[in-house]
């Protein structure tokens, strides 16, 4: 296929985005406008224009996106050039580079990657070793603080010197986070391991601290393409900027209206300020929506128009007008679930809609309970996204831990996980003595286990033998790494470690054994279908006859994202997921549930325009997942923290144009059945009134008695369950100070930890 054929398949805007290959380009791609198509065709066009493939760096946010783009490019140009394009997620591409340059940053080529569970396990051990209260030093909170610091390119020393960070931690009652951070990084480095944030941190450090490395990779990657640029954080932004600094051949593609990961550190300003970084940049807008009906597109446009910070665009479609958007007001979450399931049952039976084409979206995972129960009662097959990942299951992590140890003996978390599994008589006391001995001698746990006599581990003779036997077993696995492919190694390790025998010995472990077999199947699939090529890390050129080894398989597994596990088009089940998880997906029929104040938008966003605008972008994303039919529900009451809470309709409902909601229905409370359709005027008069259509009137005082009573000072004690008018339900976790200076740390269901001055807090004790 020649380049003219490539360009002829695109609309005018897409053609401009594909053919402008030199200089900085920002492509603002509205929902459903063919963003992936543009990226794919752009790379294919560049290859047709004789751009050297390994000079192209294409960064995505999921492995799935990179894989699909590579396959589509190969079909377009009909040769193997697409394989040589350096395309993948930020983490996969940069991890390859860091493995190559590992010695410069104090690691070895066999470094492993810790997932979230590994990091949490390490933090729990550190908190225990420091004799800190795990109820105060909550692992999730600490990991989030460390992750945020690394995403902003702060190491443990920067963090310890940062007055704002230390003041925040002190106010939160956790003044020793900086010390935990330091120990965490030291142990990670000692384990020759990185977490996801480290990959970006060290990649930036490599380019920042080694001018020869910066020159090397600026010269290597002459053309840079970035997908979903609105989701990049500060670390990603800085790496991209450094690489593109010398040539400015950078193309970023994204949609500021779909920037919804601020809580993960994504910075919408990266896309809003692109012109500031590259004044000569060409701005191209993809505004034709090929996905949704006119009603859905118009509703989404009307909602997002209320945000101040955005790049103006006018998304439009030639698709049919489509059904109006139905908005249901229901009594409670059970009514909501019943209504949604009745609707799904009806469209499946009457219109033979495939369950796979239906999705139910919600703001938080806690909303899934009632929906699940209703699905089960109605015998509707469903799948929840965001549950336990396959690779997070215990038996899978056990096998993977042995595999990781074979590749990297210093991986402390993997070592601690399997040193006594299956049981081999190396108990917790022995492990603690090994750890203490390692710390006293400035050594690593593996060194001590391998040489317990030399390090004088205070254990008896038989235990020393068991430690050395374990080390010898791992070394026997390592000796085979270069001789066997991933499947052969995985099978050998699963059986030789004793895991298979342990699982088969207990009939109740059949499901776990099945999962191990599925893991081996995945290894076999990788070994048989992996491309028999890899890249020369110096030139970027292809190397033939690459063996799909165990370390390559582990690299793929460690860098899997949630989106990479959502792929089963033959699974005929309704999809239940948070809106965040739905980004990038599309369905014929979409139900958005829980459109209530303090739920959607979240109570955490109410006091901040920036966060409220992100919530509105989240609603925009939810609306634009729908192709044909969109249904929205909100409840008048909902149980939270075991107590009934009265709910107001979300302010976002005010922003939906009535022209897109020609008939708005109301479900009768308690029955979940469809009630008589109401006209716009009837609905305006009784159920839902857009605030912009009515004159302002004084807001009545909040009726505290509907929830409970104001707490008296002596009643405010630790572990008391309370309600706050702004933050919702919470539990008091800590008290400090006296009199007017008395403060309480409260863990709120939706807000996390907040420190409140009690004389102003007006805490309510729920009924």
Do 267 and 232 contact (CB within 8 A), yes or no?
Answer: yes
Q: Active-site residue 277, yes or no?
A: no
Token pair for 383: 């799948």
Contacts of 175 (CB under 8 A, 6+ apart): 166, 169
Catalytic residue among 625, 640, 651, 754: 625
Question: Is residue 559 within a helix (H) or strand (E), and if so which, with residue range?
Answer: none
Helix, strand or coil for residue 273? coil
Half-sphere exposure at residue 77, Cβ-oriented, CA atoms within 13 angstroms: 23
Catalytic residue among 101, 118, 156, 227: 227
Find, among 302, 311, 224, the residue nearest to 269 by Cα: 311
Q: Active-site residue 625, yes or no?
A: yes
Catalytic residue among 89, 112, 258, 734: 258
* DSSP assignment string, 215-265: HHHHHH-SEEEESSGGG--HHHHHHHHHHHTTT--EEEEE-GGG---GGGT
Strand-strand pairing, 56-60 and 542-544: unpaired
Find, among 60, 12, 14, the residue nearest to 34 by Cα: 14
Distance (Å, rounded) from C-alpha 635 to C-alpha 326? Answer: 14
Catalytic residue among 156, 228, 335, 413: 228
DSSP 3-state percent helix, strand, coil across the chain (nearest 5): 50, 15, 35
Catalytic residue among 20, 36, 533, 534: 36
Half-sphere exposure at residue 186, Cβ-oriented, CA atoms within 13 angstroms: 12
Do 517 and 491 contact (CB within 8 A), yes or no?
Answer: no
Burial (CB < 10 A; 0-12, 13-18, 19+), residue 57, is: buried
Contacts of 293 (CB under 8 A, 6+ apart): 317, 319, 320, 321, 322, 323, 627, 628
DSSP conformation class of 176: T
Do 725 and 703 contact (CB within 8 A), yes or no?
Answer: no
Distance (Å, rounded) from C-alpha 679 to C-alpha 699? Answer: 27
Cβ-defined contacts of 712-720 (< 8 Å, 24+): 713/742, 713/758, 715/765, 716/744, 716/758, 716/763, 720/765
Q: Active-site residue 569, yes or no?
A: no
Q: Active-site residue 227, yes or no?
A: yes
- Give catalytic residue positions: 35-36, 227-228, 258, 625
């Amino acid at each position: 296929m020649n380049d003219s054929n490539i360009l002829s398949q695109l609309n005018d805007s897409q053609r401009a985005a594909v053919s402008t290959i030199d200089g900085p380009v920002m492509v603002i791609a509205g929902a459903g406008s063919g963003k992936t198509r543009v990226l794919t065709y752009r790379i294919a066009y560049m290859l047709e224009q004789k751009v050297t493939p390994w000079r192209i760096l294409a960064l995505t946010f999921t492995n799935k996106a990179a894989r699909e783009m590579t396959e589509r490019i190969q079909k377009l140009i009909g040769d193997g050039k697409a394989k040589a394009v350096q395309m993948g997620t930020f983490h996969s591409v940069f991890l390859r580079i860091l493995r190559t340059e590992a010695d410069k940053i104090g690691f070895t080529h066999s470094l492993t990657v810790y997932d979230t569970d590994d990091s949490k396990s390490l933090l729990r051990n550190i908190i225990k070793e420091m004799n800190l209260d795990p109820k105060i030093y909550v692992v999730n909170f600490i990991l989030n603080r460390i992750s945020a610091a690394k995403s902003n390119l702060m190491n443990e020393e920067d963090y310890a010197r940062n007055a704002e960070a230390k003041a925040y931690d002190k106010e939160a009652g956790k003044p020793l986070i900086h010390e935990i951070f330091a120990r965490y990084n030291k142990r990670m480095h000692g384990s020759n391991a990185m977490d996801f944030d480290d990959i970006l941190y060290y990649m930036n450090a490599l380019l920042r601290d080694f001018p020869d490395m910066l020159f090397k990779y600026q010269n290597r990657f002459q053309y840079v393409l970035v997908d979903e640029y609105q989701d990049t954080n500060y670390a990603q932004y800085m790496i991209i900027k450094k690489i593109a600094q010398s040539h400015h051949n950078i193309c970023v593609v994204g949609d500021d209206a779909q920037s919804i990961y601020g809580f993960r550190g994504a910075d919408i300003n990266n896309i809003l300020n692109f012109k500031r970084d590259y004044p000569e940049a060409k701005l191209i807008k993809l505004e034709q929506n090929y996905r949704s009906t006119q009603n859905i597109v118009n509703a989404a446009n009307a909602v997002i128009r209320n945000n101040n910070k955005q790049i103006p665009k006018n998304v439009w479609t030639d698709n049919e007008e489509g059904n109006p958007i139905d908005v249901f007001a229901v009594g409670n979450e059970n009514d909501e679930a019943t209504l949604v399931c009745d609707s799904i049952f009806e469209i499946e039976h009457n219109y033979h809609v495939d369950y796979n084409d239906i999705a139910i979206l919600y703001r938080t995972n806690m909303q899934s309970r009632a929906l699940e129960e209703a699905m089960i009662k109605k015998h509707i097959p469903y799948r929840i996204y965001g549950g336990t990942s396959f690779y997070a299951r215990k038996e899978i992590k056990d096998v993977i831990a042995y595999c990781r140890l074979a590749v990297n003996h210093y991986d402390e978390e993997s070592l601690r996980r399997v040193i006594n599994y299956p049981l081999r008589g190396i108990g917790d006391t022995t492990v603690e003595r090994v750890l203490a001995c390692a710390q006293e001698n400035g050594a690593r746990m593996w060194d001590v286990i391998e040489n317990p006599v030399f390090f004088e581990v205070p254990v008896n003779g038989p235990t020393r033998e068991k430690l050395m036997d374990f080390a010898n077993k791992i070394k026997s696995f390592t000796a085979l790494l270069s001789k066997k492919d991933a499947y052969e190694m995985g099978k050998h390790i699963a059986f030789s470690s004793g895991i298979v025998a342990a699982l088969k010995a207990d009939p109740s472990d059949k499901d776990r054994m099945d999962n191990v077999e599925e893991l081996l199947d995945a290894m076999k699939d990788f070994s048989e279908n992996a491309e028999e090529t890899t890249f020369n890390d110096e030139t970027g050129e292809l190397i033939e006859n690459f063996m799909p080894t165990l370390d390559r398989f582990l690299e793929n597994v460690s860098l899997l994202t949630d989106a990479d596990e959502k792929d089963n088009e033959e699974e005929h089940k309704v999809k239940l997921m948070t809106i965040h998880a739905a980004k990038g997906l599309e369905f014929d029929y979409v139900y958005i549930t829980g459109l209530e104040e303090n739920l959607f938008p979240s109570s955490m966003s109410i006091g901040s325009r920036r966060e409220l605008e992100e919530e509105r972008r989240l609603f925009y994303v939810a609306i634009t997942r729908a192709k044909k039919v969109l249904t929205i529900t909100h409840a008048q009451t909902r149980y939270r923290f075991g107590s009934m809470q009265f709910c107001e309709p979300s302010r976002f409902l005010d922003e939906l144009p009535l022209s897109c909601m020609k008939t708005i229905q109301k479900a009768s409370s308690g029955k979940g059945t469809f009630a008589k359709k109401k006209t716009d005027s009837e609905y305006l008069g009784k159920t839902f009134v857009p605030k912009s259509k009515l004159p302002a009137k004084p807001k009545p005082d909040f009726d505290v008695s509907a929830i409970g009573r104001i707490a008296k000072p002596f009643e405010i004690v630790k572990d008391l369950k309370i309600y706050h008018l702004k933050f919702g339900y919470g539990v008091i976790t800590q008290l400090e100070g006296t009199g007017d200076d008395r403060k309480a740390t409260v863990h709120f269901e939706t807000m996390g930890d907040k420190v409140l001055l009690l004389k102003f807090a007006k805490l309510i004790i729920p009924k």
